[in-house]
Amino acid sequence: MRKNFQDTTNTGYKIIAVDDEAGIVDSLSVFLKRSGYTLTGVTDPMEAIELVKKEHFDLMILDFIMTPIHGDKVVEEIRSFNKELYILLLTGHKDLAPPLETIRKLDIQGYCEKSDKFDQLLLLIESGIKSIEQMNEIKRINNELSNTLEKLEKAYLDSIETLRYTVEAKDPYTRGHSDRVSSYSVLLGKYLGLSKEDLKILKIGGLFHDIGKIGIPDSILLKEAKLTDDEYSEIKNHPSIGAHILCNAEVFKDIIPIVKHHHERFDGYGYPGKLQGQEIPYLARIAAVADTFDAMTSKRTYRDSLPLDIVKAEIEKCSGTQFDPEIAKVFLDIIENHYEEIEKIREEK
């Protein structure tokens, strides 16, 4: 049964004591109150586990030999949902202490024998509080760094987004195209079983894959007639231009392979690097399929969007030459069996 000991003091740290002997909990409460600590005393180990789930405690003082379960089982249960709680184990006799490997495995920070005097325990508590203070300070610094990095990332994103809109203002086709390529890439990545981090890279990489078109002259970018060989060569520079634009921003280092290599071909006849097969970054191979699919299914100045059966046939034909065959296979399966997800993207973008 839980004892009603909750003494608010000036330390700011909350301690929970768990012992099935009410007298021990009473004594600890009086002693720790005098030492300036806040204590919650519990005599039922199962109730203690539930209490730690619901409330925040900085440190636990835990008896080892208890009913209905021993202290090591209490710790094992708590560690399944709380890795940070600082735990000190109390033992009636040194011979009854759990093995050292158990203490290490369960991340128990210390233990001491029960005694009429709590001097040794107080030293362990003070040492524990110092460790908790250091851990909290490290956590605070990490949070500040994370917030700073998030702000920097947002600033970079905003800057590049401005450039992206500048490109879209130059090239009407690009408007909506990058958004769809981003969404198709993420959809394909999900069906390929990629991690959340890779999906994030695909999303941003898709949005900015054509950022290099800002460096292409309007006379070429907006030309409605067929491009000359020289003009087409100029267009083919946009992946390298895009990679150069992003290269000085650390936050964009992960998307540069997509920006630079989304026009590579699996057979090695693409650009700008003429990379072949596995040499092409995996995420760039995904974006290449998404980019081509959107190009074929979008209306252009010189042609209407292509019918879906022709698009499927083209992807099948180019599997192993232009596209990674495994990635193309998965995308064809999406078209065949999950086309409603593609339609949803087309409606939204």
Tens digit of pLDDT for each residue in 122-165? Answer: 888 988 888 888 888 878 887 887 788 788 778 777 876 777 77
Under the banding of pLDDT at 50, 70 and 90, the label for residue 283 is: very high
C-alpha distances out from residue 78 to 66, 84, 178, Å: 16, 10, 47
Residue from 301, 302, 283 nearest 203 by CA: 283
C-alpha distances out from residue 286 to 179, 185, 331, Å: 15, 6, 9
| Sequence-distant (≥ 6) Cβ neighbours of residue 335 within 8 angstroms | 308, 311, 312, 315, 342
Cβ atoms within 10 A of the Cβ of 238, count?
23
Under the banding of pLDDT at 50, 70 and 90, the label for residue 56 is: very high
Tens digit of pLDDT for each residue in 161-200? Answer: 777 777 777 776 666 899 999 999 999 999 999 999 999 9
Cα separation, 179 vs 307, in Å, equals 21
Please tell me the predicted confidence (pLDDT) of residue 92. Answer: 73
Pick the CATH number of 2-139 from 3.40.50.180, 1.20.810.10, 3.40.50.2300, 3.60.15.10: 3.40.50.2300
Percent of the chain predicted with pLDDT > 90: 48
Token code pair at residue 115: 């005694």
C-alpha distances out from residue 167 to 210, 252, 305, 314, Å: 8, 18, 22, 28
| Angle (CA) 320 323 324, round 5° | 70
Cα separation, 130 vs 188, in Å, equals 49
Please tell me the predicted confidence (pLDDT) of residue 301. Answer: 66
CATH domain 170-348 topology: Hypothetical protein af1432 (1.10.3210)
Helix (H, G, I), strand (E, B) or coil at 180: helix
pLDDT higher than threshold 80 for residue 10: no
Under the banding of pLDDT at 50, 70 and 90, the label for residue 113 is: confident
Please tell me the predicted confidence (pLDDT) of residue 172. Answer: 65
Helix (H, G, I), strand (E, B) or coil at 87: strand
If you average pLDDT over every residue of the chain, what do you get? Answer: 87
Domain residue ranges in the chain: 2-139, 170-348
pLDDT higher than threshold 80 for residue 250: no
Are 293 and 177 in contact by the 8 Å Cβ rule? The answer is no
Catalytic residue among 105, 213, 329, 344: 213
Mean pLDDT of the 34-43 span: 89
| 213 among known catalytic residues | yes
